[in-house]
Amino acid sequence: MKIATWNINGIKARIDNLLTWLKESDPDIVCLQEIKSVDDGFPRLEIEALGYHVETHGQKGFNGVAILSKQSPDEVTRGLPGDDADEQARFMEAVFSVGSGCLRVASIYLPNGNPVDTEKFPYKLSWMQRLEAFAAERLAFEEPLVLAGDYNVIPEPVDCHDPKVWEGDALFRPESRTAFRRLENLGFTDAVRTVDDRPETYTFWDYQAGAWPKNNGIRIDHLMLSPEAADRLGAATIEKHVRAWERPSDHVPVAISLTI
């Protein structure tokens, strides 16, 4: 089973690229982030025509996540638990029946957190605490679980072109990296890191300042696996070529295969 995550930076601007990529890559489950659309505005018909079920959790203008899947989910929940006042659409979870029981997949759009001297940074850190609490709760289920998405965290210096440039940025601040590491310490596995100890590619290249032609990127899109999912991990690939397409997202798809 192939599971992918992709921050598409606007579904309306990216629908043609998404359809091309779905046909080429043939994933079973896709977690999308930054759909930048309300649920009613999401172009579901074109995607359904390729054989996918479409579940969205959108909002007007910004944020928004979705899960596309060949198999219909048994259950879908929207919103990250832990703060009823949080209205930003950044999290959803789908549950699928599989031969061995069930598979849970969450689509995550973790807050960017910049500028760090505003309320955005504490919001990021509290969101990460809520994610850790959710992950810890799910861990007790002892089920395969994939937390896939744009984490807006550069885990290690090797995951960016020039660590000096990122010093002090919310994506690379010690608090952000420590919170990410706490997920790993709970027992979650960074799939790409596990398959390739030093992945010499990134998942995001800024539109500005020639970041793509200079390969000035960062690795911030991650698939974090519960032990039951990590035991079934095969390949993990960053589909870098998609960044060179016409009118690309600034992120590329990241995919894993699980033997489920």
Interface ranges with DNA (CB under 7 A)? 9-14, 36-38, 41, 60-63, 111-112, 114, 120, 152, 207-209, 247
Q: Give the residue numbers annotated as catalytic, written as ranges.
A: 109, 150, 251
Q: From CA 260, how far away is CA 257, in angstroms rounded?
A: 9
Terminal-to-terminal C-alpha distance of the chain: 6
Question: What is the token pair recorded at 243?
Answer: 């960044």
Task: For DNA, give the closer residue by CB, 150 or 239.
Answer: 150
> Is 197 marked within a binding site?
no
Distances (CA, A) of 91 to 65, 117, 213: 6, 25, 32
From the number of C-beta atoms within 10 Å of its C-beta (0-12, 13-18, 19+), residue 37 rates as buried
Task: For DNA, give the closer residue by CB, 90 or 193.
Answer: 90
> Is 112 marked within a binding site?
no
> Is 132 marked within a binding site?
no
Question: What is the token pair recorded at 63?
Answer: 């944020």
> Is 159 marked within a binding site?
no
Residues 6+ apart with CB under 8 A from 85: none
> Is 251 marked within a binding site?
yes
Q: Please, are residues 107 and 33 in contact by the beta-carbon 8 Å criterion? A: yes
Task: For DNA, give the closer residue by CB, 7 or 226.
Answer: 7
Task: For DNA, give the closer residue by CB, 10 or 81.
Answer: 10
Q: From CA 83, how far away is CA 77, in angstroms rounded?
A: 15
Phi, psi at 28, each rounded to 5° = -85, -40
Binding site members for Mg(2+): 7, 34, 150, 152, 250-251
Binding site members: 7, 34, 150, 152, 250-251
